[in-house]
């Protein structure tokens, strides 16, 4: 298949992951977590955005001089968005607690007792130096992030938090489109498409594992994932 058809197939294959993640996010927020648990949850998301910023910036720093300006501009925009999201989630936490967040202490505490984070997969898949892994991460993980932030915006009653998270979701959708563009440019032959499929299979399972640890693990969500990706 041509690369555009391949990207469409990948988009269809991502749907089970996105749906399962949305189900678990909704179950988590419907459980009415305490303020303490909610703050811990959002600190994890704040640190994840910072990790995305760092890893995307590393990718930009490692790009060859021959890299097209448009590609550099898109990735630089994404790194800036991740930094912006880091600040937006910090503001949400302070809105909830009514106190100034000690960001350095929060990051150090998170590093000492880390929770599962999608951004950790950037390092696992060596995305800073592997264009296919980076494109797959952007398309799959950032697409999932769009679905998750939108679902949080729907579930959270606080208008300030809901509006903030809807804005983040919109940016994540843009980041996923960067991945789609990269895949369309890179995955032009059968061998490359096969490698992307291999990366995608394990990455989707890794991202679902992140969802199970960060939200509420649901048997029906796992069933959906198993039926979609276990074959």
The per-residue pLDDT for 158 is 94
By C-alpha distance, which of 158, 169, 162, 47 is closest to 101?
47
By C-alpha distance, which of 73, 80, 94, 71 is closest to 52?
80
The percent of residues above 90 in pLDDT, for the chain, comes to: 84
By C-alpha distance, which of 136, 142, 164 is closest to 152?
164
Whole-structure pTM value: 0.92
* 89 pLDDT above the threshold of 70: yes
* 127 pLDDT above the threshold of 80: yes
Quick: pLDDT tens for 138-169.
999 999 999 999 999 999 999 999 999 999 99
Indicate the pLDDT class of residue 23, thresholds 50, 70 and 90.
Answer: very high
The per-residue pLDDT for 122 is 83
The per-residue pLDDT for 231 is 65
Q: Highest mean pLDDT range out of 116-120, 178-182, 227-231? A: 178-182
């Amino acid at each position: 298949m041509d690369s555009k058809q391949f990207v469409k197939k990948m988009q269809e294959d991502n749907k089970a992951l996105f749906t399962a993640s949305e189900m678990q996010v909704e179950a988590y927020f419907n459980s009415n977590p305490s303020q303490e648990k909610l703050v811990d949850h959002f600190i994890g998301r704040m640190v994840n955005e910072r990790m995305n910023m760092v890893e995307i910036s590393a990718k930009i720093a490692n790009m060859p001089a021959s890299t097209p300006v448009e590609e550099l501009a898109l990735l630089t925009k994404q790194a800036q968005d991740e930094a912006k999201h880091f600040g937006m989630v910090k503001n949400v936490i302070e809105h909830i607690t009514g106190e100034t967040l000690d960001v350095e202490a929060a990051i150090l505490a998170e590093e000492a007792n880390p929770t599962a984070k999608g951004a950790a997969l950037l390092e696992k898949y060596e995305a800073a130096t592997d264009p296919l892994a980076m494109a797959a991460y952007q398309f799959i993980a950032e697409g999932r992030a769009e679905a998750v932030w939108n679902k949080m915006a729907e579930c959270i009653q606080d208008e300030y938090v809901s509006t903030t998270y809807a804005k983040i979701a919109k940016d994540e959708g843009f980041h996923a489109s960067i991945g789609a563009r990269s895949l369309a440019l890179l995955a032009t032959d059968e061998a490359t498409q096969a490698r992307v499929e291999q990366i995608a299979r394990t990455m989707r399972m890794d991202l679902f594992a992140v969802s199970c640890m960060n939200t509420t693990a649901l048997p029906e969500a796992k069933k959906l994932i198993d039926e979609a990706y276990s074959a």
